[in-house]
Amino acid sequence: MILTSKQHPNPITTSSAEMFLDDDNIFITKLNDNALLRVEQVKEIITHYQHFNASKPKLVLTIAGTHTNITPAAREYAESYGASAIAEAIVVSSIAQRFLVNLYMHIRNNEHPVNVFNDIENAKKWLLSHVN
């Protein structure tokens, strides 16, 4: 599935990710391959999400790059300071990433539904099922 956006054809690019709001109004973060997310990078992503959400929670799709990882401090920061969402889908590219995300989801306090997927299409279908 190709990710495009007529609303925001120019994605925001940071040192660790590319972000945009797609045509289904889903905030998409595509993490770079081999990215190691530290607190600084997580803060950047949260700031851009808050800019796009205009005080209204959105559907969130995070696509992990190959060998993407996050430090424990960045995970804690994301849990403590992450912006609210309607639902969140995380697409992983390996069994190791799936294992780590599933483990993290069990210890994380989620205020919204979160699910892990192997492909973008099923992740988007699941997210869109949470829209009233």
Q: How remote is the C-alpha of 70 from its chain's centroid? A: 12
Higher-scoring residue by pLDDT: 132, 95: 95
Per-position DSSP letters for 32-52, written without gaps between them: PTT-EE-HHHHHHHHHHHHHH
**Residue of 96 and 35 predicted with greater confidence:** 35
Count Cβ atoms below 10 Å from residue 71 Cβ, excluding itself.
14
Position 5 pLDDT exceeds 70 = no
**pTM of the entire predicted model:** 0.84
DSSP for 84-124, written as a single string: PEEEEEEE-SSHHHHHHHHHHHHHS--SS-EEEESSHHHHH
pLDDT of residue 2: 44
pLDDT per residue as tens digits for the range 63-86: 998 988 888 898 888 878 777 889
User: Which pair of tokens denotes residue 24?
Assistant: 């289904």
What the chain holds in terms of domains, given with CATH numbers, is: 12-128 (3.30.750)
Give pLDDT, residue 16: 92
